[in-house]
Structure 1
């Protein structure tokens, strides 16, 4: 039989047969005078065995010894495959759980699932779409910077901010910040900074004191780069003063 017939009978493609030849799991037969390779039923059986092994997840490079009955540890290979499947099932189960959590809170797929409930709560308090977008982007950035080990501390911080006593304050201060503009006075900026420190400094200090410590070196520069194109002069000055006050509170 020719390669096209072998491919049809075995349910693979001619390209797959060429790949089997290339990696050495299927011997390449001699070409006849007409230039075509000539296969037989033994080649068909070998291709069917290759398909069966591949369906179990066995890589092609591990197949020659199995196909030629020279592998003395076939059971060990099955154990390895089973362990890998257990890992994959665990990973897929975790992914489904994350998707379910995002669905429960009607959250965007790009949000860290651990923070989605709290961002949904802030949205429900009436936070403007513009501020919600900023909160989302900064949450994505912070989640990346704290890493997997720091995520529980970050989630706990968001949980504190979303508590009944603080969530309305988050919205109130955020909206005051959004209203800052050319007509805002120095006193408006100073009052907002003072209000922010009074309301959130304890929660921020507790987050900064997390154990093990969370390395946020370079975070200020990244946040500053992000906000520079979004905020006006008065808002940028407010953030600068807040950064200074927060730095003083750690000394």
Structure 2
């Protein structure tokens, strides 16, 4: 049979046949008087074995060994099974993430554990501020790494729903800050934020920092995205949270 016939029977392309010849995987038959390769059923059987093995994920470089050595084939099957199990676990986790994103309504670029901290523009937060918060959460989720977002969300839950509920109005007030904002409002906002975030800061004070670059990168993002008054407020807030002698939580006392 001609190469086109062999390729059609085996469900591969003629280009694949030529590649297998080049790497020595499939013996090249002698040519006819007219210069055409003439294949027989033996070539077809070997080609079918190759396509079956490669369909399991076996690299072409390993195929010759597997074709001719049953012991090597058994060992390789164990490795392939382990890879398949790991892939199934990864895909199962991905589907769980997708389901969580759908339930929470969070965008796909944000871990669902942190989606509850997004502010809605309908709550008095500007579109620019909501976008900035979104960028903050994306950066934080990455720098926390691994199970960091889940642990951070757990700390927020410990602080209580009242704390979470109050963050929306505070963020709306923060969104409205500008050069004409009275100093009294700026100071009051910082103090209220300190009061609300104090329990979370106390819980996090004894936790190891997953990435020491977090404060600097968040500050750089704040400076890039916020107006000068808002940026100064966040710096004052961080300074207060760092300096405040928070009492130990119930698990620390």
Q: Please report the TM-score for the alignment, with normalisation by the length of structure 1.
A: 0.86
Q: How many residues align?
A: 245
Distance in 1 of aligned mates of 2:166 and 2:242: 22
**Structure 1: which 5+ residue stretches go unaligned?**
none
Q: Residue 28 of structure 1: CA displacement?
A: 2.5
Name which of 140, 144, 147 aligns with 2:138: 140
CA RMSD of aligned residues (A): 2.4
Aligned pair partner of 1:202 in 199, 212, 216: 199
Check whether the contact 2:156–2:200 (CA below 8 A) recurs between aligned residues: no
Consecutive unaligned residues of structure 2, counting only runs of 5 or more, are 247-253
Q: Which stretch has the larger CA shift, 224-233 or 90-99?
A: 224-233
Is residue 29–residue 39 contact of structure 2 (8 Å, CA) maintained in 1?
Answer: yes
Residue 150 (structure 1) shift = 2.8
**Separation in structure 1 between the aligned mates of residue 101 and residue 23 of structure 2, nearest angstrom:** 43
- Partner Cα distance (2:183, 2:37) in 1: 86
**More divergent stretch after superposition (19-28 vs 6-15):** 19-28
The answer for the alignment partner of 2:85 in structure 1 is 86
- 1:238 matched residue in structure 2: 233
Residues of 2 paired with 1:56 and 1:250: CA distance? 60
TM-score (norm 2): 0.86
- Does the 8 A contact of 2:156 with 2:164 survive in 1? no
Q: Which residue in 2 is equivalent to 1:220?
A: 215
Distance 2:79 2:236 in 1: 57
Q: Following superposition of structure 1 onto structure 2, how do residues 36-55 of structure 1 map, counting pairs within 5 Å?
A: 36-55=36-55
- Cα offset, 1:52, TM superposition: 1.2
Please state whether the residue corresponding to 1:114 is helix, strand or coil.
helix
Q: Is the 8 A contact 1:160 1:166 kept in 2?
A: no
Superimposed CA distance per residue, residues 151-202 of structure 1 (whole angstroms, 9 cap, x where no aligned partner): 33212134346x4311221011101111111211222222211111112122
